Structure 1
Amino acid sequence: MGSCGFSIIVKRREVVAAVLPMQEHWLPMSNLDLLLPPIDFGVFFCYKNEQNISPENMVIVIKKALAETLVSFYPFAGEIVQNRLGEPELLCNNRGVDFVHASSDIELKDVDLQHPDISIHGKFVPFKKQGVLSIQVTEVKCGGLLIACTFDHRVADAYSANMFLTAWAEIAQAKGATHTAPSFRRSMLNPRRPSTYDASIDDLYVLISSLPPPKELKTSDDRPVTRIYYVEAKEIARLQSMASYHGVKRTKLESFSAFLWKTIAKGSHNEVKKINLGIVVDGRKGLKGRVEDNLVSMQNYFGNVLSIPYAEGSVCDLKEMALEGVAEMVHACIEGANKEDHFLGLIDWVELHRPQPALAKICGKNSDDEEAIVVSSGLRFPASAMNFGWGMPDFGSYHFPWCVQTGYVMPMPSLSGEGDWIVYMHIMKKHLDIVESEASHVFRPLNPSYLKMDKGC
């Protein structure tokens, strides 16, 4: 897929607002939203356009559906401002979404998807300058199309973005209202009175003001790099089998995370004493919802409902431990946070520390003798649902090169239909070197033949 020497030409810049007018109003951030610093995450989808539809007509369909989708998902058409306490709040004013229609002189099969920091970042996936959401649609040389979005993470987590993306594609096909209608009832995440929390929260979250300055990169090996791999279904099944024992079956995500953790520890040098592993936990299943003492489902809730518990691991112990033992540590880490009491306590913890900003401690750790990675499940990634009327995308991925030194890894389903995974990695170069030297049989480089893009587009 090689060449990155291609150009992007902007054909049109505009702002797409919701098709129906709305009354301007404020939507407060929940306490869980306030745990997110001002960072953005992206998604992108690649289409070969085998139906030879005019790209101009495709863009018309995309924009029209976007304007209709923003009626329900109106926070994405708003903007974030600070209140008098210095906290972010969402002004729902239908400012609109920054929309770029671009073209490129590269063919889809030549886009180096394995190295998104070179080929994708800031080229096909736009930088968000204003508003909450930015979108870029890029025509490529062979008639194909790339659709990319950049979301403000303070407004939405991946679950919320997935709801929006699925609705957008369904509306483009005029399927009717079969998509999930979002709920913005912040009262579902209100703190309790009186607020209370378990002391374990203090071990997982920290005030930003208490963090030391970021440590300087010692060598180029400490700089973060981004790669995308694929993992075959048979390897995922093998890891799951190795991580399970005595009738206790670990999940695929637990098994994968344990393997990655152990692999990085195995190749780490002596100066690193600890490798810590964080797991992003979605609290929607655990939280029953509380509105005027009536139980309300969290399934449709729009916003952030995340926690990042982490487990500390001695490099020596991780090297010697069997994979099933490492997987047990991963399982315990997830189970400790995958409960209603944990999320209610986290909401109360934020309330007791407002307006001081805070974040997950694993994202702020920077001791000289310890390193960290975070694994987030992208297994709900809706790539197969992103049919705007000209077929499923040929490839799709999240894109999240966050600015902290903690590594970030996100597996998501491949469109191969055979149970394979696509794995997005944004980790230190030395960790990437370990992965490629110790586990190349698991993490396979993307190539045109695997993506079935080696012919035609």
Structure 2
Amino acid sequence: MAMLTSTPLTFSVRRSPPELIVPSKPTPRELKPLSDIDDQEGLRFHFPVIYFYKRNPKMGNKNPASVIREALAKVLVFYYPFAGRLKEGPGRKLMVDCSGEGVLFIEAEADVTLKQFGVALQPPFPCMEELLYDVPGSSGILDSPLLLIQVTRLLCGSFIVVVRQNHTMCDVFGYMQFMTALSEMAKGESTPSTLPVWQRELLCARDPPRVTCTHHEYDEVADTEAPIISLDDMEHRSFFFGPTQISAIRRFVPTHLKHCSTFEVLTACLWRCRTIALQPNPEDEMRMMTVVNARRKFNPRIPLGYYGNVFGYPAAISKARDLCNKPLGHALDLVMKTKSEVTAEYMRSVADLMVIKGRPNFTTVGSYIVSDVTRAGLLGVDFGWGKAVYAVLDHPVASIFTHYINHKGESGILVPIWLPSVAMKRFVKELGNMLARDNNDHVIQEQVPAYSKL
């Protein structure tokens, strides 16, 4: 079975008081509106990215916290909106007050070694609250710091960097542009290799706004029968999918869909297994919402250096009965068709919908959200100690697909899953059925699940 479990770990952290890092040079004081893709309700939260680094003897006694702190002040000269604060105007429009107040930075030391985190680094991480201190008042949307960085040095000379960012400011590609610039400054560069571009007006609503596409991801759905699940009853596990596992799942792909991508077939598989595990009402609508990068959908293209949010969140919809009882091809066909809907016109339609409907949230009832950051280059962030040995974007609800090399040296995809404990057992069973092989090393044929409600 490809399930990974975390190693229980207890350690203590000694932190310096949180400090505000301001740009090292004067920056413009101005008000910069976000785009109408940026400031939708579903992006008004902070997300953390975790990096693990090994000790590098070539760096001598250099303190990574000091290096990153100094580089941060320099990079904020170029990315000065991050040092500001969000304000809300008419129609819930968000804008950045480029006040230069700074971003939060914490230096810490932990009485633990990197080795003690276990052979397999993956979410959920033990003692996450120790690796990222939630400074009181820092996690709001308005009038709060837009970045919080904690650098924690370990006993062995390794260190952990956690960066928490307000999602309204940028998507993972914009975030990586900022982090690349930060790492370049840490290694002595005076200017980022890619200069930042604001131009958020490129993704603002038209005048007059007009919704020209179907957007099921923003449907208003009543949640009348959903049980209330305590967070204490939720289970968080990570699953590894290498070439062997992907090959096993592809055995269930019908001939006319063989051209599907790894992301598409894995997403369809997880959506189906997850639905079976949850045992919803057979007539319930189940949604699969997948993040689609739209940067290349525009002509002319979004300019190099643009670091705002440029992605669609299209929703595939199926009755629970069909997802559970039909072959994998049903879910896969829906995922592939839905992804193809994201065009430049689709994105303009989303921006217009935000203005017309007051910036609604994504539909959460019956929804499963996935995002693929395997090609984002998270591991490539190098502050001078070399590339990260592991890096992951930690999302409280979505399954974020990340590139992962397991303890056997196999390269693949790591997927975290959140489910109620009872449902997790069913999920593991269903996924195991799809990955199982018989004595002749053939995949055991997919069976219709024993699901009494269906």
Distance in 2 (alpha carbons) for counterparts of 1:270 and 1:225: 18
Counting only pairs closer than 5 Å after superposition, residues 145-184 of structure 1 correspond to structure 2 as 145-174=159-188, 177=191, 179-184=193-198
Q: Is 1:25 aligned with 2:36?
A: no
* One-letter amino acid of the structure 2 residue matched with residue 258 of structure 1: A
| Deviation at residue 256 of structure 1 after TM alignment | 0.7
Work out which of the residue numbers 52, 57, 63 in structure 2 matches 1:51.
57
Secondary structure (helix, strand or coil) at the match of 1:301 reads coil
- The residue number in structure 1 matching 2:446 is none
Distance in 2 (alpha carbons) for counterparts of 1:190 and 1:357: 12
Counting only pairs closer than 5 Å after superposition, residues 44-193 of structure 1 correspond to structure 2 as 44-51=50-57, 53=59, 57-83=63-89, 85-111=91-117, 116-117=123-124, 119-127=126-134, 129=138, 130-174=144-188, 177=191, 179-193=193-207
Compared CA separation, residues 340 and 423, structure 1 to 2 (3 A): same
Instruction: Check the 8 A contact 1:183/1:302 in 2, yes or no.
Output: yes
| Deviation at residue 437 of structure 1 after TM alignment | 2.9
Instruction: Check the 8 A contact 2:249/2:434 in 1, yes or no.
Output: no
Distance in 2 (alpha carbons) for counterparts of 1:314 and 1:435: 18
Instruction: Check the 8 A contact 1:126/1:149 in 2, yes or no.
Output: no
| Deviation at residue 184 of structure 1 after TM alignment | 0.6
Instruction: Check the 8 A contact 1:410/1:424 in 2, yes or no.
Output: yes
- The residue number in structure 2 matching 1:205 is 218
* One-letter amino acid of the structure 1 residue matched with residue 362 of structure 2: A
| Deviation at residue 86 of structure 1 after TM alignment | 4.4
Measured against aligned partners, the alpha-carbon deviations of 1:7-32 in whole angstroms (never above 9, x if no partner) come to: 12113432112222102111102111
* One-letter amino acid of the structure 2 residue matched with residue 432 of structure 1: M
Compared CA separation, residues 32 and 344, structure 1 to 2 (3 A): same
Q: Which range is displaced more, 65-74 or 430-439?
A: 430-439
Compared CA separation, residues 67 and 427, structure 1 to 2 (3 A): farther
Q: Which range is displaced more, 256-265 or 380-389?
A: 380-389
Compared CA separation, residues 319 and 428, structure 1 to 2 (3 A): same
- The residue number in structure 2 matching 1:400 is 395
Distance in 2 (alpha carbons) for counterparts of 1:103 and 1:442: 44
Instruction: Check the 8 A contact 1:26/1:91 in 2, yes or no.
Output: yes
- The residue number in structure 1 matching 2:359 is 357
Q: Is 1:306 aligned with 2:323?
A: no
- The residue number in structure 2 matching 1:452 is none
Distance in 2 (alpha carbons) for counterparts of 1:360 and 1:217: 20
TM-score in terms of structure 2 length: 0.82
TM-score in terms of structure 1 length: 0.82
Compared CA separation, residues 340 and 21, structure 1 to 2 (3 A): same
Instruction: Check the 8 A contact 2:282/2:320 in 1, yes or no.
Output: yes
* One-letter amino acid of the structure 2 residue matched with residue 123 of structure 1: E
Query: Percent of counterpart pairs with the same letter?
Result: 21
Secondary structure (helix, strand or coil) at the match of 1:300 reads coil
* One-letter amino acid of the structure 2 residue matched with residue 392 of structure 1: K
* One-letter amino acid of the structure 1 residue matched with residue 57 of structure 2: Q
Secondary structure (helix, strand or coil) at the match of 2:18 reads strand
| Deviation at residue 257 of structure 1 after TM alignment | 0.3
Q: Is 1:243 aligned with 2:241?
A: no
Instruction: Check the 8 A contact 2:371/2:401 in 1, yes or no.
Output: yes
Distance in 2 (alpha carbons) for counterparts of 1:218 and 1:23: 48
| Deviation at residue 105 of structure 1 after TM alignment | 1.4
Compared CA separation, residues 177 and 221, structure 1 to 2 (3 A): closer
Instruction: Check the 8 A contact 2:401/2:415 in 1, yes or no.
Output: yes
Counting only pairs closer than 5 Å after superposition, residues 331-410 of structure 1 correspond to structure 2 as 331-336=336-341, 338-353=342-357, 356-361=358-363, 363=364, 365=365, 371-401=366-396, 407-410=397-400
Work out which of the residue numbers 302, 320, 327 in structure 1 matches 2:325.
320
Instruction: Check the 8 A contact 2:92/2:359 in 1, yes or no.
Output: no
Secondary structure (helix, strand or coil) at the match of 2:195 reads coil
Distance in 2 (alpha carbons) for counterparts of 1:277 and 1:2: 31
Q: Tell me, which stretches of 5 or more residues in structure 2 are unaligned? A: 1-5, 139-143, 436-454
Q: Is 1:435 aligned with 2:427?
A: yes
- The residue number in structure 2 matching 1:280 is 291
| Deviation at residue 258 of structure 1 after TM alignment | 0.5
| Deviation at residue 375 of structure 1 after TM alignment | 0.7
Instruction: Check the 8 A contact 2:37/2:204 in 1, yes or no.
Output: no
Q: Which range is displaced more, 41-50 or 274-283?
A: 274-283
| Deviation at residue 224 of structure 1 after TM alignment | 4.2
Secondary structure (helix, strand or coil) at the match of 1:75 reads helix
| Deviation at residue 221 of structure 1 after TM alignment | 8.2
| Deviation at residue 126 of structure 1 after TM alignment | 3.8
Compared CA separation, residues 137 and 217, structure 1 to 2 (3 A): farther
| Deviation at residue 85 of structure 1 after TM alignment | 4.8
Secondary structure (helix, strand or coil) at the match of 1:32 reads coil
Measured against aligned partners, the alpha-carbon deviations of 1:156-190 in whole angstroms (never above 9, x if no partner) come to: 22121111112212222235656332211022113
Instruction: Check the 8 A contact 2:152/2:161 in 1, yes or no.
Output: yes
Distance in 2 (alpha carbons) for counterparts of 1:440 and 1:4: 28
* One-letter amino acid of the structure 2 residue matched with residue 139 of structure 1: R
Distance in 2 (alpha carbons) for counterparts of 1:236 and 1:174: 42
* One-letter amino acid of the structure 1 residue matched with residue 294 of structure 2: G
Q: Tell me, which stretches of 5 or more residues in structure 1 are unaligned? A: 289-294, 366-370, 402-406, 444-457
* One-letter amino acid of the structure 1 residue matched with residue 275 of structure 2: A
Q: Is 1:420 aligned with 2:412?
A: yes
* One-letter amino acid of the structure 1 residue matched with residue 93 of structure 2: E
